[in-house]
Structure 1
Amino acid sequence: MAVSFNNDIMPIFNQFRGQMMWRFDLTNYEHVKANARIINNRLANAAIFGPMPPPPFDPLTPEQIQLFSQWIDEGCQP
């Protein structure tokens, strides 16, 4: 089954919406789609950029990061 923003990606970021410290809304499809490669690079390189989300939150799981990457590979479906 294809990965979609509304069903799979937005729920990952929605849990942090109240405390978001990022420059754009990670629950907004257009914002995330426009910045998907940058976000994916940050997620995939936590050793360089630090975990996402930043402490005190738990970082995304490898499965969540893979799901985001898959969403990009499949064309960033809404």
Structure 2
Amino acid sequence: LNMLEYKLKERGKYFVKVGKWYPSSQICHCCGSVKKFDLKDRVYTCDCGYIGDRDHNAAINILTEGLRILQSL
């Protein structure tokens, strides 16, 4: 991570760390509701109608949280 941060800084880019315990896979990226899942559950299904891959949902949440942190700097 140190090398990645250094290389990004060298190119004028930003390196933002999202907290280790941020519940990215439990939050619906569409409506923001939170649901507890087991690791074996690979599909995220929300009451708002969103159905999708759990990892893809988590990636969108991590991006959103990273952008939020970046804006607060």
User: Bigger radius of gyration, 1 or 2?
Assistant: 2
**Which of the pair has the greater relative contact order for Cα pairs under 8 Å at 6+ separation?**
1
More strand by share: 2
* Structure whose residues are more often helix by fraction: 1
TM-score (norm 2): 0.31
